Amino acid sequence: RADVKMQHKQLRVWNLKLSDAGVYTCEYGPRKVHISLHIFKLTISLDGHFLQNEVPELILMQNSSGPLPDLSITLFDSNNNRVTPELQNKNREKYVMNLKKLEAMDSGTWVCHVHSDSPLINQNISFDVKVLGFQNPDLERKYATVDSTFILSWHLNSQKIKWTEGFRGQLNWKQQENANAHELLDFNVTAQGQLHETKKSSSLLFETPERKPESTIQVKLPEVHFNHSGQYQCQLEYQGRHAQSKIELVVMKVSANPVGPLSRGANMTLTCQVSGPLPPNAYLRWERVNGTRMDIKNSKKHEVKLEVNISAAGLWSCHLIEDSDRKISLHYYVEEAPVWINHVIIGASVGGSLLAFALGCLCIISGISSHRRRQRAKRMAQARQYLLENKTCQCQQ
């Protein structure tokens, strides 16, 4: 592992080991030159191949012919940001450190800077870190409207970091946290580093887009249903370890009661509903397009259903607003009933009123006639009784 270049009086040693540390002496005639070789060895767990959210372990060892110095260690990530490691074990021969939880963006070349005042040491040791994972956030919330077309995407960084070693994964969907999961896709990486997918469920109304960016897992909902809401989890597996990324899909729908044209003077109830709980900074809003402030109604905190009673036709919109940003909107056009329908309704109302009045009058007249007939019968009965009494009296005389 060594050779000597006599012309330049150089000793070259390659594939250094910790045991190569020591004092090297060069003798040239009567002259002697002593050089102390101090050796560092830096190792990283799992050969530098990680999944996101894993915590690497870094071990720095040193060896020297003299007393080992107390080292100061500084780390810089691939974006040249300073990282403070958590020191697990420290003696002058071996430093064991835990780094932060890794994210996909941490892939690249890191630098470990080693410093000592006595002897003076300023040494940069570079090492590679590859983090296989998703460029999506760990938990992402997406919004869709009923009957729309929607694509859910997970972006892997496998092409970016040229990860060609075998990994596989799957895409699952479940409507609630404790519900049964439906497996939608299986995928794995080929020898050329390309993703290969297999659709698992044919009974569900999901599709796999034919064209999509490289290293992207996608599922397409050609026509969103209200029950398509829930958690979609994409999971990676590599050497028995797992990483996952979730997308929470919230679906909105609107309805009206009664359904149909709005007659003049009538009321209608519009309902806007979302399929899952909203974050504290999100709410629903009904408003009439080109309407007034009186035509605006906001939901309360954590409400997933908002109803509004309206008496004005036109285009009504329900918005889902998060942090003053409209995420989705769904429109409902309330049609005004034609004039002839209004006239029919008015005529029916007037006719009904007149009919009721006529019936009332008939009842009153009939009641008066019945009362008069009773009074007349009563008077006739009294007259007959009077005559009978008078005849009786005459016979007695």
- Are residues 295 and 193 part of one domain? no
pLDDT per position as a tens digit, 26-80: 888 888 989 999 999 999 999 999 999 999 999 999 999 889 999 999 999 999 9
- Are residues 41 and 121 part of one domain? yes
- Report percent pLDDT > 90 for the chain: 53
* 127 in Cβ contact with 184 (< 8 Å): no
* Of the residues 61, 96, 131, the one at which a domain ends: 131
pLDDT per position as a tens digit, 210-224: 888 888 999 999 999
pLDDT per position as a tens digit, 350-373: 455 566 665 666 767 666 666 566
Exposure class string for 291-329: b at 16+ Cβ within 10 A, else e: eeeebebebeeeeeebebebeebbebbbbbbbeeeebbe
- Are residues 287 and 228 part of one domain? no
Instruction: Give the range of the structural domain holding residue 157, as residue numbers without chain letter.
Output: 139-250
- Are residues 305 and 275 part of one domain? yes
pLDDT for the residue numbered 2 = 82
Q: Is residue 374 part of a domain?
A: no
- Are residues 106 and 81 part of one domain? yes
Q: Kindly give the pairing relationship between strand 94-98 and strand 22-28.
A: unpaired
Per-residue pLDDT band at 208 (split at 50, 70, 90): confident
Question: What does the alpha-carbon distance between residue 194 and residue 121 come to, in Å, rounded to a whole number?
Answer: 45
pLDDT for the residue numbered 213 = 84
pLDDT for the residue numbered 379 = 55
* 101 in Cβ contact with 55 (< 8 Å): yes
Q: Is residue 357 part of a domain?
A: no
- Are residues 105 and 57 part of one domain? yes
- Are residues 205 and 143 part of one domain? yes
pLDDT for the residue numbered 342 = 43
N-to-C CA span, the chain: 172
**What is the total count of domains within the chain?**
3
pLDDT for the residue numbered 241 = 93
Per-residue pLDDT band at 346 (split at 50, 70, 90): very low
Question: Which pair of structure tokens corresponds to residue 21?
Answer: 């540390």
- Contacts of residue 349, defined as CB under 8 A and 6 or more positions apart, other chains included, come to none
Whether the pLDDT of residue 340 is over 60: the answer is: no
Question: What does the alpha-carbon distance between residue 15 and residue 283 come to, in Å, rounded to a whole number?
Answer: 63
| 3-class DSSP assignment, residue 151 | strand
Q: Kindly give the pairing relationship between strand 49-51 and strand 121-132.
A: parallel
Closest CA to 54 of 132, 155, 126, 137: 132
Question: What does the alpha-carbon distance between residue 192 and residue 207 come to, in Å, rounded to a whole number?
Answer: 25
- Are residues 237 and 326 part of one domain? no
C-alpha triplet 282, 105, 188: angle, nearest 5°: 95
Any idea what DSSP says for residue 265? Answer: T
Q: Is residue 79 part of a domain?
A: yes
What number of H helices and E strands is found in the chain?
1, 27
pTM (2 d.p.): 0.74
- Are residues 303 and 278 part of one domain? yes
pLDDT for the residue numbered 336 = 87
- Are residues 196 and 299 part of one domain? no
* Of the residues 222, 250, 278, the one at which a domain ends: 250
Residues 327-354: what's their mean pLDDT?
Answer: 67
pLDDT for the residue numbered 8 = 76
pLDDT for the residue numbered 378 = 62
* 96 in Cβ contact with 45 (< 8 Å): no
Question: What does the alpha-carbon distance between residue 295 and residue 314 come to, in Å, rounded to a whole number?
Answer: 11
Question: Which pair of structure tokens corresponds to residue 259?
Answer: 């359904």
* 162 in Cβ contact with 81 (< 8 Å): no
Question: What does the alpha-carbon distance between residue 50 and residue 163 come to, in Å, rounded to a whole number?
Answer: 11
Per-residue pLDDT band at 396 (split at 50, 70, 90): very low
In this structure, which amino acid lies at residue 390? N
- Are residues 263 and 222 part of one domain? no
Residues 101-119: what's their mean pLDDT?
Answer: 93
- Are residues 59 and 158 part of one domain? no
Closest CA to 233 of 164, 327, 311, 170: 170
Closest CA to 83 of 58, 115, 117: 58
pLDDT for the residue numbered 161 = 87
How does the average pLDDT of the chain come out, rounded? 85
pLDDT for the residue numbered 344 = 44
Q: Which residue has the higher pLDDT, 397 or 137?
A: 137
pLDDT for the residue numbered 391 = 45
pLDDT per position as a tens digit, 264-313: 888 999 999 999 899 999 999 999 988 888 889 999 988 999 999 998 88
R_g of the chain, CA atoms, integer Å: 44
